[in-house]
A and B are shown apart, each in its own frame.
Chain A
Amino acid sequence: MTVLSAPWSLSITEAALQIRAGDLKPSNLVRSTLSRIEQLDPLVRAFVVVDRQGALARAAELDAEQAHGVIRGPLHGIPIAVKDIFDVKGFATGCGSRAYEGRPPAAEDSTAVARLRAAGAVIVGKSTSHELACGVYTPPTRNPWNLDRIPGGSSGGSGAALAAGMVLGATGSDTGGSIRIPAALCGVVGIKPTYGRVSRAGVAALSWSLDHIGPLARSVDDAALLLTAMVGADPRDRTASTRQPPDLSTDSVDSLKGVRIGVPRTLFYDGIEPAVQSAVERARLTLVDLGAAVVDLEIPELAWTLAAEFTIVLSEAASYHEELLRTRAQDIGEEVRGLLEAGSLLPAVQYLRAQRARTRIQEAVHAAFASQKLDVLLAPTLPATAAMANQASLHFGEHEEDVTGAFVRTTAPFNLTGLPVVAVPAGLSPEHLPVGLQFAGRPFDERMVVHVARLYERESGWPLEYREPVGLQAGESPV
Chain B
Amino acid sequence: MMPEPKAPDLGLVRALAHVLGLPLDDARIGAVQQILAGQLAAGLSLPPEELRGIEPATVLLVAWE
Closest to B22 in A: A344
Contact of A338 among B16, B23, B28 (CB under 8 A): B28
Contact of B46 among A194, A304, A342, A362 (CB under 8 A): A304
Contact of B43 among A239, A311, A326 (CB under 8 A): A311
Docked Cα-Cα span, A195 to B61, in Å, equals 8
Which residues of A lie under 8 Å from residue B40 when comparing CB positions?
346, 350
Docked Cα-Cα span, A343 to B48, in Å, equals 21
Which residues of A lie under 8 Å from residue B50 when comparing CB positions?
357, 360
Docked Cα-Cα span, A356 to B58, in Å, equals 9
Given contacts A307-B43, A341-B28, contact A356 B35 (CB under 8 A): no
Q: Is the CB of B43 within 8 A of A418?
A: no
Chain B 22-55 interface 0/1 with A at a Cβ cutoff of 8 Å (1 = within): 1110001001100110011011011010110011
Count how many chain B residues have C-beta atoms less than 8 Å from C-beta atoms of the other chain.
Answer: 32
Q: Is the CB of B36 within 8 A of A304?
A: no
Q: Is the CB of A341 within 8 A of B32?
A: yes
Given contacts A338-B28, A345-B36, contact A353 B48 (CB under 8 A): yes
Chain B 5-32 interface 0/1 with A at a Cβ cutoff of 8 Å (1 = within): 0001000010011001111100010011
Docked Cα-Cα span, A442 to B64, in Å, equals 8
Q: Does A443 contact B (CB under 8 A)?
A: yes
Docked Cα-Cα span, A352 to B54, in Å, equals 11
Q: Is the CB of B36 within 8 A of A342?
A: yes
Q: Does A97 contact B (CB under 8 A)?
A: no
Q: Is the CB of A307 within 8 A of B42?
A: yes
The interface size bin for chain A is 35 or more
Given contacts A326-B22, A346-B36, contact A359 B64 (CB under 8 A): no
Contact of A366 among B17, B31, B64 (CB under 8 A): B64
Interface of A is mostly: helix
Q: Is the CB of B42 within 8 A of A341?
A: no
Docked Cα-Cα span, A356 to B16, in Å, equals 25
Which residues of B lie under 8 Å from residue A308 when comparing CB positions?
46
- Number of A-B residue pairs with CB-CB distance less than 8 Å in the complex they form: 109
- For window 396-444 of A, CB contacts with B under 8 Å fall at 416-418, 442-443
Docked Cα-Cα span, A209 to B59, in Å, equals 9
Docked Cα-Cα span, A218 to B28, in Å, equals 42
Which residues of B lie under 8 Å from residue A194 when comparing CB positions?
61
Interface centre among A304, A342, A345 (most CB of B within 10 A): A345
Which residues of B lie under 8 Å from residue A209 when comparing CB positions?
57, 60
- For window 453-473 of A, CB contacts with B under 8 Å fall at none
Which residues of A lie under 8 Å from residue B57 when comparing CB positions?
209, 355-356, 358-359, 362, 416
Q: List 27 A-B contacts (CB under 8 A).
A: A195-B61, A308-B46, A311-B42, A325-B23, A326-B21, A337-B28, A341-B24, A342-B32, A344-B22, A345-B13, A345-B36, A346-B40, A353-B48, A353-B51, A355-B56, A356-B51, A357-B46, A357-B54, A358-B56, A358-B57, A359-B55, A362-B57, A362-B61, A362-B62, A366-B64, A416-B57, A418-B61
A-to-B contact residues, CB < 8 Å: 194-196, 209, 239, 304, 306-308, 310-311, 314, 325-326, 329, 334, 337-339, 341-346, 350, 352-360, 362-363, 366, 369, 416-418, 442-443
| New A-B pairs, 20, CB < 8 Å, besides A195-B61, A337-B28, A345-B8 | A194-B61, A239-B60, A307-B43, A307-B45, A307-B46, A310-B39, A325-B23, A341-B17, A341-B35, A346-B40, A353-B51, A355-B56, A356-B56, A356-B57, A359-B56, A360-B50, A366-B62, A369-B64, A418-B60, A418-B61
Please list the 10 inter-chain residue pairs (A to B) with the smallest Cβ-Cβ separation, ordered nearest first.
Answer: A355-B56, A342-B35, A358-B57, A307-B42, A350-B43, A342-B36, A362-B62, A357-B46, A356-B51, A359-B57
